[in-house]
Amino acid sequence: METRSNNVLVGSVVLLLLAAIMIAAFWFSRVAGGDDVEYDIYFKQSVNGLAKGSAVTFAGVPSGQIKDIELWKRDPGFVKVRITVKEGTPILQGTTATIQGSFTGLSEIVLDGAVKGAPPIVCPEINAAAACPDGVPVIPTKPGAFGELLNSAPQLLQRLSTLTERLTEMLSDKNQQSISGILANVDRLSGNLADRGPEIAATLAETRVMVQKAGLAADEIAKLTATTNSLLNEEGRPLIGDLRKTIQSASHSIETLDKTVAEAQPGVRAFSQQTMPEVGLLVRDLREMTRSFRAISEKLDQQGAGSLIGSPKLPDYKK
């Protein structure tokens, strides 16, 4: 009887202890759960590697875990992930969620980007159904580098395949012969340049000397220009003044000559119209007088002075 009583007592104590442990665990879980805050995250991309219970970190600090993950019933193109984070975690406006994966296949949600002084992300009182479709605040997403790489992998592989095909076409037998010819020409050209190295060096030296001489010539031209400018400024101005005076005098003389010609035009016109005909008659009379005097002189020479008084004697004729 005593042994049976001891066994019943021990069993009762054990059961009480187990019940106490279960109640304590439930109570602690309720207390711990009461301090957590729930948020929804809607991913348009693949969430491969995430699972219920996966870690949630804020700027690398463990802050919560994934409570539930499922396809969003309103739009199956999105995956709804509900997370719980510790109370006091700064989930402020500007905070974004990113899936950080690894090559081991395990992924976690990383929260970052909170702006200092910004209000927390909460469900607004106005239009709360649109901002919080499932009753809890929503954290916007931002594609992660690894996720972007996985999402763009098919496009990247297609581009690599296209690049490989083009490289294959470029390295065909015909193009390889052309490339070999180009390399041979380049080798020949480099050899010719190496052979002409001394001549090229001499040409460069001469060019350097020519550049120096050109610089000196430019300096001399600058000095000559400065001297010419000073000469024009100092001596050119008086010469220009004298030239202006000469031009003014010449202009005055031309004006005087024009006036004189204008005044002489009536006399010249009268001389040409009246005097010139009379002069012509006088010249003609003088010519006739000259002929008469010439005839008289010839008569005097041949017949003497008597021919001027009487008529010439008739010649005697013998019978």
Global confidence as pTM: 0.41
- Give the span between the Cα atoms of 136 and 80, in whole angstroms: 12
β-partners of residue 295 are none
| pLDDT, position 317 | 46
What is the reported pLDDT for 31?
A: 47
Give kind and range of the element (H or E) at residue 19: helix 2-34
**Cα distance between residue 94 and residue 116, in whole Å:** 9
Pick the residue with more confidence: 85 or 32? 85
Mean pLDDT of 156-160: 79
Tokens 């050119």 correspond to: 236
Determine the pLDDT at residue 48: 83
pLDDT of residue 239: 62
Highest mean pLDDT (candidates 80-94, 117-131, 167-181, 263-277): 80-94
Identity of the highest mean pLDDT range in 11-20, 55-64, 145-154? 55-64
Confidence grade of residue 82 (pLDDT, cut at 50, 70, 90): very high
Q: How does pLDDT run across 12-49, given as a tens digit for each residue?
A: 777 888 888 877 766 655 544 457 899 999 998 888 88
Q: Going by C-beta distance under 8 Å and a sequence separation of 6 or more, which residues neighbour residue 176?
A: none
Pairing of strands 55-58, 36-43: unpaired
Question: ∠146-147-148 over CA atoms, to 5°?
Answer: 90
Q: Percent of the chain having pLDDT more than 90?
A: 14
Q: Is residue 232 scored above 80 in pLDDT?
A: no
Instruction: Report which listed range, 6-10, 172-176, 203-207, 253-257, is most confident.
Output: 203-207
Please choose, from the candidates 67, 71, 36, 38, the residue with its C-alpha nearest in 3D space to the C-alpha of residue 54: 67
Poorest-pLDDT segment among 74-83, 91-100, 104-113, 286-295: 286-295
Question: Ranked by mean pLDDT, which of 132-136, 221-225, 260-264, 267-271 comes out on top?
Answer: 132-136
**If pLDDT is split at 50, 70 and 90, which confidence band does 213 have?**
confident
- Judge whether 54 and 104 are in contact, CB under 8 Å: no
Residue 306: predicted pLDDT: 54
Burial code (b: 16+ CB inside 10 Å, e: under 16) for 52-83 equals: eebbbbbeeeebbbbbebeebeeeeebbbbbb
Mean pLDDT of 168-177: 76
**Residues 196-216, mean pLDDT to the nearest whole number:** 80
> Residue 136: what residue type?
V
Q: Is the Cα dihedral 177, 183, 187, 188 positive or negative?
A: positive
